[in-house]
Chain A
Amino acid sequence: MTNTFLKRSGIILTSVCTIATSIVLACAGDWGPEYGTSSFTPETFVDSAYSPFFYSAQFYYGIGHDESHLTRWKYANIGDWGEWFGKTLPYQTLDHLLNTADASTLDSAIAWLQAKPDYRPACLSGMNSNPKIIAFIHYLRLAKKCEAFALTPITPSWEQDSTKPKPHFEAKSLDNQLQEALNKTTDPFLQERYWFQLVRSHFFNSSPETAIHLFDSYNSKFPHNDIWYRSLAYAAGAYYKQKQFSKANYYYSRVFDSCDELKTVAHYSFHPQEEADWQGTLALCRSAEEKATLWQMLGIFYSDPQRAITRIYQLDPRSEKLDLLLARAVNIREQQSLADRQEALPVQQTPSPAGDSLLTLVTHIAAAGNSAKPWIWHLAAGYLNTLEHHYPAAIANYKKAEPLVPHDRLPQAQFRLVRLITTLSAAPAIDNSLEQKLLPEIEWLESIQNDNSFRSNYAFDWLKKTMAAKYLLKGDRVRSECFVTAPVFYTDNKNVEALKAFLGRPDKTRYDQLCAHLCSNQLVDLFEYQAVIRCLNDNPDEAIAAIKEAPSAATTILPGNPFNARIIDCHDCDHAAAQKIKYSKLSLLEKLSELKNKLSSATDVYTNAILMGNAQYNITHYGNARVFYEGKVLGSDHSMPESIDPVFRDSLMSMTTAIKYYTIALGAAKTDEQRAKCQYLLAKCQRNDWYNRNIFSKNIYDYNGPNFVAWDGFKGLKQYPNTQYYKEVIKECGYFRSYIQKNK
């Protein structure tokens, strides 16, 4: 018992035509909300019945596609019949009979009504037969038969069989029964329903003329309720089949205007072919309001809101149909202005070619003050002026809007948001006065970030970028970093110390408290970062001092033993291996400090230098202890060097410190076995350095060059062919094997 979309056999261009989709998607980007970079919420002032037509990257806003044709009328039907029964039939019974019961249940019900008590179906237990029940069951039996041609279930796409035409439904007998019931019944409620069933049956199974004739014969007898508009939609479809597009579109416009449930259906079906069709539809209108509906449909469906606004405003300045068009026009303008914007400051934007004419139109209507909601026109004019960088005009618009904005949550929020955007856009630079002015606004904007009913995420993101950029222009790196974190900031330790001082200051103003609160990296993160960098720079004692200020990081356990080295690196093996001692970040640092002290006193230099080299190797990106460097500032989950921020790659991938200790070990080695090992471990470092210099620093993702280089370490190891270590390397390392074979 639903309406269905009219099917139109279209001509498609596929392999030769894929541009339309990409244009639509490009409007809002491939990620993020479907409304793209918008800070103008239609829900603030547009009737929610129009919500599928809010500007969106999807086909219909909020729902993607209209797939409710099987269930569209479920609750309305239950409600209508419940009213007709005077609420004497339970909801569950009605729901079951209307939406679940099949032909055999209804057959039993009819037998029961014909004085066969044993046949009463369970859903009617406790009921007494009465004329209304009898009429309902008889109606339902015929209505269910109509579902065979009127309802097409949604099937999975690969199983859909659009290759065959719909099977012909032999409707003659059913139509006769419907006609007979229509003639007999005197109850207007039932009569209207039989009429609807028959109009629909004629639409699907007979000639369009028959459907139109039946519609015309009865349409004046019934109130304009949902059933009436459903019938009107089928009459429209019948005219469409006859290629009487003017009349078809006129009927669809009335459905669109008056039946919210069928708005998407009317939209899908409304399709003027030639200008004469459109003019013919306009000529059929009986009132200015009907014409306004047509212009509204044109403005929405064919993306010409300005023309539609102009025409509707001429017809009726107070028309509510202007609201949706205004929302769409502003939302489209926002995308033109803001989509794909990388930089933060709107002053660097190019004005939109269409922007001026829209601004002129909206300003005109705002100034006239004769619309139904003058406040939204002033507010929109202000926002459009901001997008065009006309800030004084924007501020003047807001002044006019302010006393008129309704004291409801969304209108007040919208007004506050656009005024904030204008204030910040207009400010040439940040000073104390601006900070104080923005303080409560930023606090408010942050507080509503999880409110999905109001579009504020993009504005907050934009505000932070803009504040950061303005602080940077002013030379205030610390506050800039508070609004938007920039990895390059941390490459200068002076910046880190300055931020530490700022965050640690006990007497911060309320504004600076806000800045500190917004800052991505807090004091502990900075100490942890400094500990890592100091350790990588071979300064474990200072690193210990720093890591102790970040207790949670200090106790983080490393997954493998960082003092081990393998011929072929295998992090998973190291992590899975049995470990007598589990090192935390702090205990690793303490061990490094101890080893370093031993080296200073020349104690067991070879062994301790090898251990130092192994640990320094393992705490880089190449080693088994990446966890050591992972944190808020440096990032984590670096599966590839490319995922490390470029400014940190040198620090996290450098082999300098590892090479330093392996070289010390080599110098202190007393046996060939030890020398062989040092040479090979150095070769690994030389290989990593080569990768760093030749591939990762050049961002080569698809490396096609030589995959074998004779490292110095290989040459060194070649001198010790009789060592056990050499033999193990030959066994495990194919590159070394190749090198030896080529250089015998």
Chain B
Amino acid sequence: MVKITKSSLLWTDSPYLYQKILIAVSTPSLRSLFLLLAFSATACHHRPKTISFYYWRTTFALDSTEQKALRDNSVQSLYIRYFDVDWPANDTLPSPVTPIHFDSIPTGYTIVPVVFFRNRVFQQITPDGIPALVDKVWALVRRINASAQLHPQEIQFDCDWTDKTKDRYFTFLRRYKQTTGLTLSATIRLHQVKYPDRTGIPPVDHGTLMFYNMGNIDAGPGSSIYDRTIAHRYTPSLRSYPLTLDLALPVFSWALLIRNGKVVQLLDKMNEPMFDKDTNFACPSPNRYLCFHACFKKGYYFQQNDDIKIESVSSDNLREIVTEVNRHTNHRIRNLIFFDLDRQNLLQYDKHLFKKIRDHTD
């Protein structure tokens, strides 16, 4: 068997490069050899996986717990949300939402900017408007890069696109690649893995499989972050998904504020210990709290009789996810990215968890 090294031309995550090589290698025998090599590369090369984190706050400043987590897990890359792009109903053009501000400079890490698009941007944009959007996004990304003296070589786009918006989103991605020459990655949701014939394969160098936010946000007993039953419906499709994938895993929690049976607010980074010792709340069942004295808490206001449902992902859940992904990906998961780097999230888990999950991933 031919040994493939990381520096070899054939070791690549880029589907574009595969295509170019396949076209270049025209004789049948050489093509067979190439396919054999490519297969060998994906099937046998157990490259050590790295641990990364998403950083999703609007001001970049790490506290000591967060810095320690990065060091303990030998983190080399950080995926930092730069800004969102939205197109509110009454506006005439899309606009950026809360660009990040760097209070401190993230030195020593490979930074991958992440830009989140509300799908309605691509519902409303016309094909003629896409070049201008590319220019605006690229200009703002460069301005943010300059503000923190960063020189990223990759950018990730996050959009829950659909069959109705895929053409315009993909046109945007192609044009962005053409304009900037950067490595492009895109988040891939489970429904996009299951129905690639409808939603298409984004024209990017690799994808990041988002293994969270799969359920409905409602007052029912299930979790909107991770639901095993729902996940099982989608994971077999991973086997045939053509993009190389990183795996994004949830380590966040939140609470749903339920009033009169309807979810009225998401309470960011609220977890069970915050309610357990508060006498304004009773805990009628696991993960559920009932407010029987109206009160303020962590900047949120709770009315009497409000129902609070805590959603989080346990260490066992994370192992379960990785086991499930292992079953269907045939060693094709590249790296792990945890969502998201935040003291509140980190404190929920044993500090060795991230490495354990990494080691559990094929």
Q: Interface-forming stretch among B11-19, B95-103, B171-179, B227-235?
A: B95-103
Do the beta carbons of B213 and A16 come within 8 Å of each other? yes
B10, CB-defined interface residue at 8 Å? no
Known: A15-B158, A164-B101. A304 touches B265 (CB 8 A): no
Contacts of B136 in A (CB 8 A): 158
Do the beta carbons of A304 and B56 come within 8 Å of each other? no
Known: A13-B268, A19-B263. A30 touches B144 (CB 8 A): no
A635-687 contacts to B (CB < 8 Å):
none
Q: How far, in angstroms, from A272 to B301 measured CA to CA in the complex?
A: 9
A572, CB-defined interface residue at 8 Å? no
Q: Find the B residue at minimum CB distance from A164.
A: B147
Known: A13-B266, A352-B260. A274 touches B298 (CB 8 A): yes
Q: How far, in angstroms, from A158 to B298 measured CA to CA in the complex?
A: 32
A158's partner among B140, B265, B301 (CB-CB below 8 A) is B140
Contacts of A160 in B (CB 8 A): 96, 99
Contacts of A354 in B (CB 8 A): 260
Query: Interface readout for B195-213 with A: 1 if CB under 8 Å, 0 if not?
Result: 0000000000000000011
B296's partner among A15, A20, A25, A277 (CB-CB below 8 A) is A277
Q: Find the A residue at minimum CB distance from B261.
A: A353
Do the beta carbons of B296 and A9 come within 8 Å of each other? no
Interface residue tally for chain B (C-beta within 8 Å): 52
Q: How far, in angstroms, from A414 to B61 measured CA to CA in the complex?
A: 55
B58, CB-defined interface residue at 8 Å? yes
Query: Interface readout for B301-326 with A: 1 if CB under 8 Å, 0 if not?
Result: 10110000000000000000000000
B305-350 contacts to A (CB < 8 Å):
339
Q: How far, in angstroms, from A307 to B295 measured CA to CA in the complex?
A: 11
B89, CB-defined interface residue at 8 Å? yes
Contacts of A18 in B (CB 8 A): 118
Contacts of A336 in B (CB 8 A): 260
Do the beta carbons of A157 and B303 come within 8 Å of each other? no
For residue A358, give the distance in angstroms from its CB to the closest CB of chain B: 12
B119-151 contacts to A (CB < 8 Å):
136, 139-140, 143-144, 147-148
For residue B248, give the distance in angstroms from its CB to the closest CB of chain A: 11
Q: How far, in angstroms, from A606 to B81 measured CA to CA in the complex?
A: 74
Q: Find the A residue at minimum CB distance from B98.
A: A12
Q: How far, in angstroms, from A25 to B140 measured CA to CA in the complex?
A: 29
Q: Find the A residue at minimum CB distance from B136.
A: A158
A149-182 contacts to B (CB < 8 Å):
157-158, 160-165
A451, CB-defined interface residue at 8 Å? no
Q: Find the B residue at minimum CB distance from A156.
A: B95
Contacts of B351 in A (CB 8 A): none
A284, CB-defined interface residue at 8 Å? no
Contacts of B84 in A (CB 8 A): 14-15
Q: Find the A residue at minimum CB distance from B90.
A: A64
B116, CB-defined interface residue at 8 Å? yes
Do the beta carbons of B266 and A20 come within 8 Å of each other? yes
B252, CB-defined interface residue at 8 Å? yes
B286, CB-defined interface residue at 8 Å? no
Do the beta carbons of B268 and A11 come within 8 Å of each other? yes
A735, CB-defined interface residue at 8 Å? no
Q: How far, in angstroms, from A165 to B99 measured CA to CA in the complex?
A: 12
B181, CB-defined interface residue at 8 Å? no
Do the beta carbons of B303 and A273 come within 8 Å of each other? no
Do the beta carbons of B99 and A162 come within 8 Å of each other? yes
A268-321 contacts to B (CB < 8 Å):
271-275, 277-278, 298, 302-304, 307
Do the beta carbons of B102 and A163 come within 8 Å of each other? yes
Q: How far, in angstroms, from A18 to B280 measured CA to CA in the complex?
A: 28
Query: Interface readout for B270-309 with A: 1 if CB under 8 Å, 0 if not?
Result: 0000000000100000000000001111110101100000
B144's partner among A163, A277, A352 (CB-CB below 8 A) is A163
B191, CB-defined interface residue at 8 Å? no
Do the beta carbons of A9 and B56 come within 8 Å of each other? no
Q: How far, in angstroms, from A647 to B14 measured CA to CA in the complex?
A: 54
Known: A160-B99, A163-B143. A9 touches B297 (CB 8 A): no
For residue B264, give the distance in angstroms from its CB to the closest CB of chain A: 6
Q: Find the A residue at minimum CB distance from B278.
A: A275
Q: Find the B residue at minimum CB distance from A273.
A: B299
Do the beta carbons of B263 and A298 come within 8 Å of each other? no
A700, CB-defined interface residue at 8 Å? no
Q: How far, in angstroms, from A277 to B298 measured CA to CA in the complex?
A: 11
Contacts of B295 in A (CB 8 A): 275, 278
Do the beta carbons of A158 and B263 come within 8 Å of each other? no
Q: Find the A residue at minimum CB distance from B133.
A: A158
Contacts of B269 in A (CB 8 A): 11
Contacts of A705 in B (CB 8 A): none
Do the beta carbons of B58 and A10 come within 8 Å of each other? yes
Do the beta carbons of B59 and A9 come within 8 Å of each other? yes
Q: How far, in angstroms, from A160 to B260 measured CA to CA in the complex?
A: 40
A157's partner among B95, B116, B266, B294 (CB-CB below 8 A) is B95
| Of A13, A15, A353, most B-chain CB atoms within 10 Å | A15
A310-342 contacts to B (CB < 8 Å):
336
B217, CB-defined interface residue at 8 Å? yes
Interface residue tally for chain A (C-beta within 8 Å): 39
B57, CB-defined interface residue at 8 Å? yes
Q: How far, in angstroms, from A10 to B300 measured CA to CA in the complex?
A: 13
Q: How far, in angstroms, from A598 to B338 measured CA to CA in the complex?
A: 83
Do the beta carbons of A158 and B56 come within 8 Å of each other? no
Known: A30-B89, A275-B296, A304-B294. A23 touches B98 (CB 8 A): no
B81's partner among A14, A19, A157, A272 (CB-CB below 8 A) is A14
A17, CB-defined interface residue at 8 Å? yes
Q: Find the A residue at minimum CB distance from B265.
A: A20
Contacts of B261 in A (CB 8 A): 353
Known: A12-B98, A304-B301. A275 touches B280 (CB 8 A): yes
Query: Interface readout for A236-257 with B: 1 if CB under 8 Å, 0 if not?
Result: 0000000000000000000000
Q: Find the B residue at minimum CB distance from A304.
A: B303
For residue B15, give the distance in angstroms from its CB to the closest CB of chain A: 24
Contacts of A11 in B (CB 8 A): 57-58, 268-269
Do the beta carbons of A14 and B97 come within 8 Å of each other? yes
For residue B61, give the distance in angstroms from its CB to the closest CB of chain A: 9
Known: A163-B102, A273-B298, A304-B301. A16 touches B252 (CB 8 A): yes
For residue B316, give the distance in angstroms from its CB to the closest CB of chain A: 22
For residue B52, give the distance in angstroms from its CB to the closest CB of chain A: 17
Do the beta carbons of B143 and A161 come within 8 Å of each other? yes
Q: Find the B residue at minimum CB distance from A9.
A: B59
Contacts of A23 in B (CB 8 A): 263-265
For residue A333, give the distance in angstroms from its CB to the closest CB of chain B: 11
B99's partner among A15, A163, A353 (CB-CB below 8 A) is A163
Q: How far, in angstroms, from A164 to B260 measured CA to CA in the complex?
A: 43
Do the beta carbons of A158 and B296 come within 8 Å of each other? no
Contacts of B160 in A (CB 8 A): 15
For residue B164, give the distance in angstroms from its CB to the closest CB of chain A: 10
Contacts of A277 in B (CB 8 A): 296
Q: How far, in angstroms, from A353 to B95 measured CA to CA in the complex?
A: 39
Known: A13-B56, A16-B213. A274 touches B144 (CB 8 A): no
Q: Find the A residue at minimum CB distance from B268.
A: A13
Q: Find the A residue at minimum CB distance from B256.
A: A19
B301's partner among A30, A157, A302, A353 (CB-CB below 8 A) is A302
Q: Find the A residue at minimum CB distance from B139.
A: A158
Contacts of A25 in B (CB 8 A): 89
Q: How far, in angstroms, from A10 to B100 measured CA to CA in the complex?
A: 11
Q: Which 8 A-B pairs have the closest CB atoms?
A: A157-B95, A302-B301, A163-B147, A275-B295, A15-B116, A272-B296, A14-B84, A353-B260
7 interchain pairs, CB-CB under 8 A: A9-B59, A14-B56, A19-B266, A161-B143, A163-B148, A275-B296, A275-B297
Known: A20-B265, A23-B265. 15 other contacts (CB 8 A): A12-B58, A15-B84, A17-B266, A18-B118, A19-B217, A30-B89, A157-B96, A163-B102, A163-B147, A164-B101, A274-B296, A275-B280, A278-B296, A298-B301, A354-B260
B residues with a Cβ closer than 8 A to A are 56-59, 81, 84, 89, 95-103, 116, 118, 136, 139-140, 143-144, 147-148, 158, 160, 187, 212-213, 217, 252, 254, 260-261, 263-266, 268-269, 280, 294-299, 301, 303-304, 339
